[in-house]
Structure 1
Amino acid sequence: MPDSYLDVSELFVERQAQRSSLHARHLNEQLVRVLKTIGYDVGFQKGQGQYLFDRDGARYLDLLSGFGVFAIGRNHPALRYALKSVLDADFPNLVQLDISTLAGVLAERLLEHVPYLDKVFFANSGAETVEAAIKFARGATGRPGIVSCSHSFHGLSYGALSLMDDANFRSGFEPLLPGCTQIPFNDLAALEQALSSRQVAAFIVEPIQGKGVNLPTDEFLPGAHALCKKYGTIFVADEIQTGIGRTGKFLAVEHWNVEPDMVLLSKALSGGHVPVGALLTRKSIFDKIFSQMDRAVVHGSTFSKNDLAMAAGIATLDVIKQEKLVEQAARRGAELRLALTRMVPGYELLKEVRGKGLMIGIEFGPPKSLKLKASWNILETANKGLFCQLITVPLFKDHKILTQVSGHGSHTIKLLPPLVITEEDCSWIEKAFDDVIAASHKVPGAIWSLGKTLVDNAVRKSA
């Protein structure tokens, strides 16, 4: 390699000690403050599979997996090989007045998993895929309305944000897209009332809600699908987080035997390296958007079918197939949920463990004993959902496990580990949660001292 070429790995090593000051000065200073406040500024240096390594070489188990993008683990050798092979081949990438071979291959392989759909539109992210779904649904039906569920998460661009009712994300950005309404999750009567106007283009739903890991009733998704057929509404499954094997099926809707009119994918499809989104849909819908030659580019995105993104998707699907990661997610998820569920009777703060595959929610709630109840109420008064930080912070500091609360004001911790986690990893998780939850029942104690610090920070913030 010529000496004049920039070695980015050397640049990383040279500047990594300045990461906090660089971000505070040029990027998001508030995020830097958050990480320092809760002690997460450990300076991660390397990622391999399900593990992260900090500046001192300590190993962490990553149960966030980049919000689900690292389903096959970080820096999988097969993915790295695929990306290097593209870079070494000098392909004619993004010619635009041409068609992409790799995009055709990835579309073909995706549709093999969803054989009732016919066409694929590629985008650059989950949110951009949601935006495409809104446009396609309105364009195909001629209707303005879009219905989604309360407590959902679909992305933070304007159309996607319009499908959500979370004031924490919406505040300061309204008015949003007109024609978007929410119904309660699992409420078929409310859905029928919304659809009966026959002005709703699409019902967009997460099969399992990421924010809270809320599961549908056995009747909800099949019933919603039937209602959409009845009223001529397009049924859209937002599988951006739940898809590509996360729940122990390739798609989460398979648990309820539902065949949507559109499926939205992203996150895990990227392999964690090159952002990509995919909208899978029926030919009848697709053909109403790209209806004739002068509308061949009526919707698109400059980088959406770039060769690296397509190669990342192809390699990811191949790894998932070769390593049987869908089956592994089902097996490991069942084992982990059972181990965590067994703890529920022993801890009054622990309310429920739920999920499918390796998408697991661990919910906490108000205790009955007086000492714990008083401490819980102090936290809740200061900031709703603050208790979960008393679990996530010690998990990180004392047990080297990275996880997160499942949403603003939530009492649920969400686990989204890479699908490659081992039996030993599951034992690590079980022992760590048992230790931290046990400590949270000791008042006074170290965990509640942390709680006082968090309360003081919350009070100062609101003052």
Structure 2
Amino acid sequence: MTFSIAELFTAHNPNKFDLYEQYLNNQMVRVLKTIGYDRHYKRAVGQYLYDQDGSEYLDLLSGFGVFALGRNHPTIAHALKEVLSLELPNLVQLDVSVLSGLLAQELLKTTPDNINKVFFCNSGTEAVEAAIKFARFTTKREKIVFCEHGYHGLTMGALSLNGEEIFREGFGPLIPGCSPVPFNDIAALEKALSNKDVAAFVVEPIQGKGVNLPDDNYLPEVEKLCKKYGTLFVADEVQTGLGRTGKFWAIDHWGIKPDMICMAKALSGGHVPVGAVAMTQKIMDTVYNRMDRAVVHGSTFAKNNLAMAAGLATLHVLKEENLIETSAAMGNEIIASINAMSEKYEFLMEARGKGMMIAIEFQSPKSLKLKAAWAMLEAANKGLFCQMVTIPLFKEHRILTQVAGHGMNVVKLLPPLMLNQKDRDHIVNSFDKVISETHQIPGSIWDLGKNLASHALKGKSK
């Protein structure tokens, strides 16, 4: 009897929600069914998803940024098939791998000139964990400083640097010595570093939760303060890296040189998990300072051939298809087009971002009728207005988006980097129609709003 994934997928895709509910996280199934996202996707190509009826959906979520090259890119698929067909030695462990050396070499061509070593792992949260350990060992200090509202992962070390309380609640005590400062606040950071007892400052160049951009002088001043007080500067580029913001690294917008860069997500090509920390020679040589410490920190599957091949193919595609330039140009067009609507829509505050990392923020309006409707949603659950936007975008316009974070009135776009003009027009026109509908009271979209508020209030009462 042959084993066939195709047969398994075809036979069981119709009952995938039953399987998930019974054997995995049933609350996730409840969420999807409640908001009407319970689709049965059968195929995915580039920036598009296709359901069982053949309907096309524009994916502006891209697996939280994993599919920067789109889904099922042929170059990535070919590289992985080639690895499997070659019967290469893999994870020998008492050996070093060719592909990991090549991927490190290629990555270091993209980093600032002070960065010249790479540590591989499997995910963004593992990269942050490694950065914490390396910083503590290198500086012989315990404290780590991070930013409020930041996101760095969900394992215990990374969670200790997570600026969103909803992720931390109930999982303590977390690792000691970790404390937050406000994002974009140089004075607060200097106060936190001034005792010269902080091992590292870990920050997203652009915060993923909310797509919060720093002032132009913030990150250059961060670099100066870290050098002044002997603190390592760690840039978490897990989401912002590899072309997402219209530059290879988000730090390139400000010309700064951190001591470590954490990366993952897009480096995988969307197929095989891979993460990494790029760092200075001094950090690497301090941590791995003797032969008996050659394996003092590692990860069993980190340098597997499939992951390394996916990374190499990803870097090739980014360059060959000019995706970073496309990200910058198309992102600017989308942001400008949505901002052009702000004068006619009271609810629309602004669109902001860099490249294909875009936030669309909404606000309390001035008109009494609209203001009362807004207040009704906010009283039920802060940020509920955005659900009233994302749901019709999905159901009526087949655009998959996300709310940017808990309690935020921000819709976040994190598309594949290769969006075309047709996609751009579809995005802008769809937002125009949905935002227009939110200004019509009464209306069907506000019937949805009332239902969302009712569900939220019921949830609070339990």
TM-score tier, shorter chain, comes to over 0.9
**Sequence identity, in percent?**
59
Counterpart position of 1:28: 25
Code of the aligned partner of 1:176: L
Unpaired segments ≥5 residues, structure 2: none
Q: Give CA-to-partner distance per residue, 1:379-408, whole Å, 9 cap, x none.
A: 111111111001000000000000000011
Q: Does 1:154 align with 2:170?
A: no
User: Quick one: distance in 2 between partners of 1:165 and 1:362?
Assistant: 21
Q: How many residues were matched structurally? A: 460
Q: Could you tell me which of 113, 131, 138 is aligned with 1:133?
A: 131
User: Quick one: distance in 2 between partners of 1:155 and 1:65?
Assistant: 18
Superposed CA RMSD: 0.7
User: Quick one: distance in 2 between partners of 1:304 and 1:199?
Assistant: 32
Code of the aligned partner of 2:333: E
Q: 1:115 to 1:374 in 2, by over 3 A?
A: closer
- 1:156 alignment partner, SS class: coil
Q: Could you tell me which of 58, 65, 70 is aligned with 2:67?
A: 70
Q: Could you tell me which of 212, 227, 230 is aligned with 2:228?
A: 230
* Displacement of 1:5: 3.3
Q: Does 1:399 align with 2:381?
A: no
User: Quick one: distance in 2 between partners of 1:121 and 1:314?
Assistant: 15
Q: Does 1:300 align with 2:331?
A: no
Q: Could you tell me which of 438, 441, 445 is aligned with 1:440?
A: 438
- Mapping of residues 252-331 of structure 1, within 5 Å: 252-331=250-329
Q: Which moved more, 1:129-138 or 1:160-169?
A: 160-169
- 1:113 alignment partner, SS class: coil
Q: Give CA-to-partner distance per residue, 1:276-295, whole Å, 9 cap, x none.
A: 00100000011110111000
* Displacement of 1:16: 0.6
Q: Is the 8 A contact 2:127 2:262 kept in 1?
A: yes
- TM-score, scaled relative to structure 1: 0.99
Aligned structure 1 segments of 4 or more residues deviating by more than 6 angstroms: none
* Displacement of 1:175: 1.1
User: Quick one: distance in 1 between partners of 2:356 and 2:460?
Assistant: 36
User: Quick one: distance in 2 between partners of 1:283 and 1:5?
Assistant: 50
Q: Does 1:42 align with 2:46?
A: no
Q: Give CA-to-partner distance per residue, 1:315-340, whole Å, 9 cap, x none.
A: 00000000011111111111111111
Counterpart position of 1:6: 3
Code of the aligned partner of 1:319: V
Q: Give CA-to-partner distance per residue, 1:4-36, whole Å, 9 cap, x none.
A: 331111100111111011011000100000000
* Displacement of 1:115: 4.5
Code of the aligned partner of 1:84: K
Counterpart position of 1:121: 119
* Displacement of 1:165: 2.7
Q: Is the 8 A contact 2:142 2:198 kept in 1?
A: yes
- Mapping of residues 159-238 of structure 1, within 5 Å: 159-238=157-236
* Displacement of 1:169: 0.7
* Displacement of 1:248: 0.6
Q: Give CA-to-partner distance per residue, 1:140-186, whole Å, 9 cap, x none.
A: 10000101110101111111111123121111101111100110011
Q: Does 1:104 align with 2:107?
A: no
User: Quick one: distance in 2 between partners of 1:330 and 1:215?
Assistant: 15
Q: Does 1:95 align with 2:89?
A: no
Code of the aligned partner of 1:419: L
Q: Could you tell me which of 45, 56, 64 is aligned with 2:53?
A: 56
User: Quick one: distance in 1 between partners of 2:306 and 2:342?
Assistant: 45
User: Quick one: distance in 2 between partners of 1:43 and 1:454?
Assistant: 23
Q: Does 1:383 align with 2:376?
A: no
User: Quick one: distance in 2 between partners of 1:165 and 1:414?
Assistant: 18
User: Quick one: distance in 2 between partners of 1:45 and 1:403?
Assistant: 19
Q: Give CA-to-partner distance per residue, 1:294-330, whole Å, 9 cap, x none.
A: 0000000100000000000000000000001111111
Q: Is the 8 A contact 2:112 2:257 kept in 1?
A: no
User: Quick one: distance in 2 between partners of 1:242 and 1:327?
Assistant: 15
Code of the aligned partner of 1:439: E
Q: Give CA-to-partner distance per residue, 1:224-270, whole Å, 9 cap, x none.
A: 10000000000000000000000110000110110111011100000
- 1:354 alignment partner, SS class: strand
User: Quick one: distance in 1 between partners of 2:376 and 2:40?
Assistant: 32
Unpaired segments ≥5 residues, structure 1: none
User: Quick one: distance in 2 between partners of 1:455 and 1:55?
Assistant: 31
- 1:45 alignment partner, SS class: strand
User: Quick one: distance in 2 between partners of 1:237 and 1:345?
Assistant: 36
Q: Give CA-to-partner distance per residue, 1:344-379, whole Å, 9 cap, x none.
A: 111000001110011000000111111111111111
